[in-house]
Amino acid sequence: MELNQLGTLVLISLVGMVTPGPDIFFVTRLATKSRRHAYAAVCGITIGVTIWLTLTVFGATALLTAYPAILSTIQLVGGLWILWMGIQLLLSARAQLRDGGVTVATNLDALVGTPRSCLRQGLFTNLSNPKIILYLAAIIAPFLPSAPSIGTALLVIVTLVTCTFGGFMLLATLISTNAMRVKLLKAGPWIDLGAGLFFIFAGCGLVFAGVTSFF
């Protein structure tokens, strides 16, 4: 793979990464409350991206195409997870509005969970939508030979994982600065409300796609 091809692939990947989705909403929501928790979520998301990229580069797309029931099952389970996350966010928003919002003194572990749980939620949120593997296949396939060498495959995986990690870490860092957090803490309940509604909408979409594909 030539350098210009790799650069083009990185740009396409970054554009896809900043497109609003569950990962972006999850990191943004956590970053308004705690940088440490947001960083943990980024690590979880990066692990998920690494899994999807590895499966994509080594041909799992063909498996999902040949056995669509696998894709449908993952969509259904992932949709239920996203839906559950959305409900939890709505409950969090209601609790914050009832208690007068979030302050810098709020017990963050009680509000958003421990960093370890945020890492786990970031991972599951990323893995919840298996169609990412089809998207990755679409953007990667034009730049890879039909039978890429191990070196080329690893180069693509490491490069895109690094870009994903760096991009999300930058987002989390910018949003979680003290000045930004002080401004956004007041909007915390509404951020959770918006994120919760988005997650419920996305979860219902995944569940619907998963169920209908069985018939």
Q: Using one digit for the tens of pLDDT, what is the confidence trace for 86-111?
A: 898 888 888 877 876 555 445 566 66
User: Can you tell me the mean pLDDT for 145-151?
Assistant: 73
**pTM more than 0.85:** no
User: Which range, 103-107, 166-170, 208-212, is most confident?
Assistant: 166-170
Average pLDDT over every residue of 6-23: 76
The stretch 117-137 carries a mean pLDDT of 83
> Which of the two residues, 67 and 53, has the higher pLDDT score?
53
**Cα four-point dihedral sign 185, 176, 120, 16:** positive
The answer to whether residues 175 and 38 touch, using CB atoms and an 8 Å cutoff, is yes
Q: Give mean pLDDT, residues 158-179.
A: 90
- At 116 the pLDDT is 93
Quick one: pLDDT at residue 105? Answer: 44
Region 120-127 average pLDDT: 91
Q: What percent of the chain has pLDDT over 70?
A: 84
pLDDT digits (tens, 9 = 90+) for 171-185: 999 998 888 877 776
Percent over 90 (pLDDT), the chain: 19
- Under the banding of pLDDT at 50, 70 and 90, the label for residue 45 is very high
Residue 75 in contact with residue 202, Cβ under 8 Å?
no
The answer on pLDDT for 166 being more than 80 is yes
Distance CA 140, CA 134 (A): 10
Distances (CA, A) of 97 to 25, 100, 121, 138, 157: 20, 5, 24, 43, 43
- Higher-confidence residue of 183 and 201: namely 201
